[in-house]
Amino acid sequence: MSSLHPHRYFSAENAPLAHELYQTVADLPLVCPHGHVDPRLFSDPDYRFGSPTELFLIPDHYIFRMLYSQGIRLEELAVPRQDGGATEGDHRKAWQKFAEHYYLFRGTPTGIWLKEAFADLFDLMEPLNGENAQAVYDLMAERLDSADLHPRPLFDRFNIEVLCTTDAATDTLEHHQAIRDSGWHGRILPTFRPDAVVNLDTENWRDNIDQLSDVSGVDVIDYPSFVQALEQRRSFFKQMGATATDHAALTAHSARLSDAEAARIFQAALQGKITAESATQFTAHMLNEMARMSVEDGLVMQLHVGSYRNHNADIFAKFGRDKGADIPITTEFTRNLRPLLNRYANDPNFKLIFFNLDETTYARELAPLAGHYPAVKLGPPWWFHDSLNGMRRYFDQVMETAGLYNTAGFNDDTRAYPSIPARHTVWRRASADWVAGLISQHIVSESEGAEMVQALAYDLAKSAYNL
């Protein structure tokens, strides 16, 4: 990345000081406590990325949603259909479309990550466009064959200290086992994500429960055995190195049911007689139950709320989930989470990390909650807000009330492995820029600022996730 500007992403007025601060953390290892990289990249020593289109375009809904928003059909971009419909088979053609519309990413975080990755991995400095599309494709395809761009060598090149994946409660973690067995030195840890069994309205929920019985060895026939199976899986994940769980919910609603009521709803679900209302209640209840287990087993609990998934029915029917059609909604924490927080969050050994897409809650609810309850930490700006402006708004709205030390550092939350260094670079530079501003306003001293930048770049994430 030597040829990208050394002062990039710094505000003009902070640039020299921000640069100085950034230099002190630029080479620290990357701590990646939450993300969606497929462990197969590392379990299979011969894993290859495929074509440039397979590496950058097809799996990345940040990219193809923007092209789709401008009228380019996903089929033209070689995104596979789940309903059996035809899609473009020629990756070069899809790449050409992408290249012709690369200008759409001006000023976006995706544009920044692409630029960083192109420069870092391929020494490409020129913006992609219709003219250079095929030459770039050739160059990339050739480079992707070379051994230094395979996943394991990249892990070292990226200077990753630890990378956590996200895995279904029913996952056997065979790929994690294979990584361990291989003797490779990379530290890849699983994370326990039980959404597909605790959210009763998940597609194929009944199948997931059967699978849960299989992998846990606990025959899930009622609510108590369901809880027991979950506890078994948590224990197994912990053995396999997991330090955290992850939970996604539409809202932060957390009312605890009586065990009898929970059992009744679960039974109805087993019989396929679940209402939307009951499913919502059960999810709210299970958040409490998961908090209880975290207090007991020490796994850090992550909560991601506020995404209305699969908003576009037509796209969902044709292409399935995660196609750039998830739209945030307003979120409420103060009242919704009170039952859970009152019950568990006074325990300083419990850690509960929030992620959220409704920035209005930053200063109003999340920072005051994190600035009071011992268990509560705030995760970094999530998804659409994992961007320079998103980070600035986060620093601006969270830090004064929550305090830096109630935040959880950074995580890249990505399935796009090659974008990991870029994402950390943006965070570290934004952090340095923010702290430089505090110093230049004489709010903190230079030595305090240096410690804060180090905390943001490395320490906070490591400690929040017990890594």
**Which CB, 52 or 437, lies closer to its own copies?**
437
Q: Is 446 in the site for its own copies (CB under 8 A)?
A: no
Q: Measured between alpha carbons, how far is 77 from 368 in angstroms, rounded to an integer?
A: 44
Closest CB 384 distance from its own copies, rounded Å: 5
Q: Is 57 in the site for its own copies (CB under 8 A)?
A: no
**225 contacts its own copies (rule: CB under 8 A):** no
Considering the complex, what minimum distance in angstroms separates the CB of residue 261 from its own copies? 22
Residues 152-181 that bind its own copies (CB under 8 A): none
One-letter amino acid identity for 460? L
Site for its own copies in 397-426 (CB under 8 A): 397, 399-401, 403-406
The residue from 2, 3, 5, 147 that contacts its own copies (CB under 8 A) is 5
Determine the Cα–Cα distance for residues 368 and 376; give it in Å rounded to an integer.
Answer: 10
Q: Shortest approach of its own copies to residue 34 CB, angstroms?
A: 21
The span of 39-47, 88-96, 257-265, 371-379 binding its own copies (CB under 8 A) equals 371-379
Between CA 325 and CA 309 the distance in angstroms is 7
**CA dist., res. 341 & res. 139, Å (int):** 53
| Residues facing 188 on adjacent strands | 163
User: Nearest distance from residue 297's CB to its own copies, in Å?
Assistant: 19
- Sheet with 30-32, strands from edge to edge, namely 30-32, 160-164, 188-189
Number of residues forming the site for its own copies (CB under 8 A): 90
Token pair recorded at residue 325: 């059609």
Is 221 a binding residue for its own copies by CB under 8 A? The answer is no
Query: For residues 115 and 424, which CB has a smaller minimum distance to its own copies in the complex?
Result: 115
Query: Token digits for 312?
Result: 């576009």
Sign of CA dihedral 169, 174, 179, 183: positive
Asked if 14 is part of the footprint of its own copies (rule: CB under 8 A), the reply reads: yes
Which residue has tokens 């209302």? Answer: 277
Quick check: 276 binds its own copies (CB under 8 A)?
no
Minimum distance from CB of 289 to its own copies (Å)? 20
First-to-last alpha carbon distance for the chain, in angstroms, is 28
Which residue's CB is nearer to its own copies, number 54 or number 332? 332
Residue nearer to its own copies on the CB measure, 203 or 314: 314
- Considering only the stretches 26-34, 160-168, 256-264, 359-367, report the one whose residues sit in contact with its own copies under the rule CB under 8 A: 359-367
| Region 91-130 residues binding its own copies, contact defined as CB under 8 A | 103-109, 111-112, 127
Alpha helices in 188-337 (DSSP H): 195-198, 205-216, 223-239, 259-270, 276-297, 313-319
Note whether 81 binds its own copies by CB under 8 A: no
Whether residue 28 contacts residue 21, with contact meaning beta carbons closer than 8 Å, is answered with no
CA distance 275 to 200: 9
